[in-house]
Every structure is written in structure tokens, then in C-alpha cells.
A and B are shown apart, each in its own frame.
Chain A
């Protein structure tokens, strides 16, 4: 049993009166892709904010390599943990290369320059995300899918061992979704990254995730291997929708299919 890079115990959080998270336990280990599922408003983004140190937990604790995120200096933290979120568009001219290079900030600081090892990491990130041919293009002149990959590339260039990715495939077509999960799987495989991906894509998750954590109403409804978590009962409970779960004959992974004509049941 490896020691998890990031672990959370008994996390809870409230926005005013509203309870958003309740007693959440979570471990992220090196080389493992964990998928965070849950309906809109189930607390996924809040959980990611707390894990990344952007929000202090209301209760419970987070440990990144044994220390609470709040104890870290900002740059030290960013060298260990990166986040791919839903950032606002950049309204200023910037090339893909310049954008990805910003990921090296935690290694450079306000006053540092770009070293050859920075350059190497940037090249590596561009190559891994297939963006090398687009490096000189303006960020505003590439497609939404390519821009999403650039955001991932920036996080890769950051060189962190823990990556938190918040619904990064929300607006992407199937080709770019697959490409995204391929990149994350490769990061886990080759760099030993511990990845947490918040997603709505049940079947793709089952294909790529080794572990799935299903949040519902701010609490962990189920976690484990895809076939343990993705059952008709669990999905109905969390999403209020009837599904059939079987095995994909081509890959053997769990396949989740919504059933027509089955109105959501009151829970």
C-alpha cells in the first residue's frame, strides 16, 4: 500500500446555512487516475477548491505530503499541486507557447528568468499534449479543444505530482475528450502523477478511471472501482435517472446507458 500524496479526512464545508460537503474522505496516490463524479451542485468544485488550498475546509483536514495546504508557501504548493479549472478567456494577445510557459512560474518566481530546464519542461508539456505544431499560434486563434489542451499543458509544465482537473472536458467533442483522458492516463503512467478528474462523462470515466468517487448531496455516496460504483442503484440515487449498466464488449469496461421513458423518481 503506497502512501497517498494527497489525502482528505472528514472534510465538511458550508456556504452560510447551506451544507456543501459532509464528511468526505479521499486519497490520491501516485500513478492513479481518480474520477470525481456527481450531479451539478454535489460539491465537486468546492471539494477541489479545498483540496487545492483555495478554500480552507470547514471541518476535517487535508494533507498534501503530510502537511495542510494552508501551511505551504504559495509557490511551494504550486510546485506540488496544479489545478486545471474553468478559467476565464485571456483577452490579450498571447501565443500558445507563452501561455504554457506561465506554468513555470512556481519554479521561477517574480524575479527569475527562464532556465534551460524550464524550457525543457515547456517543450515536454507541448509535446505531450500534441500542441508543439501550434506553439506560435495566438491563443485566440485555436479551437476550444486546443485551448483546453493548452490549459492542461500549462498545468503539466508546472511539473506538479498532484493534478486536480475540474470538469475539463465539459465543452469538448468526443475526439478531444478521448485525447484528454489519454493525456491524463499517460501523465499518471509516465510521471507518476496522482490525478483527480471531476467529470460528468460516466462511460468515459469508467474506461479511464481506476477509481471513482461518487459525490451526492455533498457526501461520498460510493467509491471504488468503476464496476463497484457505477451500478444502476448508485446512479439512480445520485443523479435521479434510470440507467442500464453493462460491460462494453469491445473494452470490457462498464458502460452506462440512460433508459428512455423512465421518468426520474422522487427521491
Chain B
């Protein structure tokens, strides 16, 4: 089978991916300390309900699963965009300072406001992420435009600076103030409430829509800036829009779920194996795959250990790495 057959010929990929995401959400909502059979789920979804299973389902599990789908999808599509923008398969949504900025924002809340001030925490994390992403961009910008090399360089510089700030904050803070924020930084979907899902949704939907509209431009960016320019692309405009949108996606997601690694790095590669590198297919495929993957990982994180929840970021790496290695190796001969 050639890649073309895998990429363009098989229209069945998208129905399968949609089914995978829906299946992951259904599995996740039915699994937990209180097992909820699928029939009960359907009932609760259709008619509501006041008994315990219905309330667990509607106010806890379903929002959490939907949050996982949004976060996973957003991280994966943001990763796709950063990889095209930097023309680097090793790029992920956190490569250009979003993570460091979010961490400084979160720690600021923990230190100066209150360890339990969770309503302020996402806001500050988002502001921190947005500020560091913006400073990387402005520092990297020159009269001739923004080159991938300079973006990565400035990302490293700003990241190192923020890391130093984080170390100082952690070292100088009074004991007991920090652990909550640190755990939060490890990535956690436990904040999934209906309200939070509703707040995140417009960010993810609009961010994804903008990236999708830029698909053709992202295709051309893979050729290199000069070639993209000569093929008729307004390179700097597309790069600026891509950068800001992908950072917004990553930042808004970090704000509600902390730093969940691995999804934004490796799901794009898995999606490329399925549909190829054309972004009109790649972005939706990565979104669906990333969503399904994170919802499943979170189900494992919630239920695997009797001692309590595991950080979902650890599960994404533990479960995902071997699976995607397999996918990549299987197609490695042709890619």
C-alpha cells in the first residue's frame, strides 16, 4: 500500500476517527468508582435524572470527558500548526514559551493570592502563556520577517529565563504554598465542569477554525519560506496568524488543564500516518485523534491506581509512546 492509498484514497479514516472519539467519551463516562452502564447513560442524556448515577454522569464525568476531548484536540492541532510553522517535526505547542509563561502565571497566583484561588489560576496561566508567546514572537521578528530559526532561538532564551524565574519562585516561597500549583502544572483534567467546558469551547472552536482556513498556507510553509513566497503565499501574514492562533489554542488549554505533554508532539505524527501531510485533512484528523487519545488517557489516569488519580501527562507519555512508535515504525520505510 502506498502512502497515497493511505492518505487520499481511504475516505473511511474520518468516520473511524469520529467513532473513536465518541467511543472514548462513552467509555470514559461509563468508567469509574460508580460504574454506569451505557443504557443508563443514554437515559440520563435523553431525560436527565436526579439519581446519583445521572448526577455523576452529567455534572462530573461527561464534562470531564468533553474537556479532555477539547484539550486533546486543541493540543494536537496546535502541535500540527507549530510543526508546520517551524518546519520541525519535533516542535510541540509548548516549544515557544507557552509552558514557561503559564507556569509563572500559575505560581504567581499560588504565591501571592492563595493556593486555593483556582478561579484566578487559569486566568493567570493564560495571561502568562500569552505574554511569553507574544514576547518570543516580538523578539524573533525582524524587518525581513520571522524565521523559524530565530523563533526557536528566542523560544529557548525566553524559556530559560522563565525557568530561572520559576526556580526562584519555588526556592524563595514559604513552605506549603507551592505544591498545589506544581501538581496542577503536571496536567489535570479534574477541573472539568460544565461551565469550564463552555468557557473553553469558543477558544478552541475559533482557534481551530482559523488554523483550518490557513491549511493551504501551512502546506506551503513545509516547502520553506522562500519557496512558499515564490509560490504566491503571503508568508509573513500566514506565519503571524498561525503563530498567534496556535499559541492562543495552547494557552487557553493550559489555563484549564495545566501542562499535558506528549499529545501535541506525537499525535500530529500519528495523524500524518493516517491521512498524509495535507493540512485540510491533517488538522481535523489530528483534532479527533488527539481528543480520543486524551480522553482514554484520562480514563486510565482516573481509574488505574487505587491510591488515587495519576497525572494525566504521565499516562499520555506512558501509553502513547509505544503506540505511536509502532505507528511510525510501521510506516517508517516510506516516510
Contact = CB atoms under 8 A, between A and B. Distances in A.
Nearest to A166: B226
Interface of B is mostly: helix
Contact of A94 (B88, B216, B273, B276): B276
Given A102-B219, A109-B216, A82 B4 contact: no
Contact of A95 (B223, B272, B276): B276
A94 B84 CA distance: 13
Nearest to B232: A78
Contacts of A110: 213-217
A77 B226 contact: no
Interface stretch (A25-33, A133-141, A176-184, A244-252): A133-141
A106 B232 contact: yes
B89 A137 contact: no
Contacts of A54: 226, 229-230
Given A79-B232, A103-B231, A111-B213, A93 B224 contact: no
Interface stretch (A83-91, A195-203, A229-237): A83-91
B216 A95 contact: no
Nearest to B88: A91
Contact of B232 (A77, A85, A88, A135): A77
Contacts of B224: 87-88
Contacts of A138: 3, 334-335
Contacts of A92: 83-84, 89, 222, 272, 277
B2 interface: yes
A87 B220 CA distance: 12
A259 to B, nearest CB: 38
A79 B220 CA distance: 15
Interface string A67-82: 0000000111111001
B173 interface: no
Nearest to B234: A74
Contact of A90 (B4, B222, B226, B232): B222
A95 B232 contact: no
A74 B232 contact: yes
B223 A102 contact: yes
Contacts of B273: 93
Given A95-B2, A136-B2, A90 B223 contact: yes
B182 to A, nearest CB: 35
A97 B222 CA distance: 15
A254 to B, nearest CB: 32
Given A102-B223, A138-B334, A91 B89 contact: yes
Contacts of B88: 91
Interface in A114-158: 135-138, 140-141, 154, 158
B319 interface: no
Interface string B241-281: 00000000000000000000000000000001100111000
Contacts of A136: 2-5
A93 B3 contact: yes
B277 A78 contact: no
A98 interface: yes
A203 B5 CA distance: 44
Contacts of B230: 52, 54, 78, 82-83, 85
B117 to A, nearest CB: 43
B146 to A, nearest CB: 16
Interface in B1-55: 2-5, 7
B231 A78 contact: yes
B276 A98 contact: yes
Nearest to B89: A91
B175 to A, nearest CB: 46
A239 interface: no
Contacts of A111: 213, 216
Contacts of B214: 110
Interface of A: 52, 54, 74-79, 82-83, 85, 87-88, 90-95, 97-98, 102-103, 105-106, 108-112, 135-138, 140-141, 154, 158
Given A78-B230, A94-B222, 14 more contacts: A74-B234, A77-B232, A79-B232, A83-B227, A85-B230, A90-B223, A93-B276, A93-B331, A95-B3, A102-B219, A102-B223, A109-B216, A136-B2, A136-B5
29 contacts: A54-B226, A74-B232, A78-B231, A79-B232, A85-B230, A88-B87, A90-B222, A91-B87, A91-B222, A92-B222, A92-B272, A92-B277, A93-B273, A93-B277, A94-B277, A95-B7, A98-B7, A98-B277, A98-B278, A102-B220, A105-B220, A105-B231, A105-B232, A109-B216, A110-B215, A111-B213, A136-B2, A138-B334, A154-B231
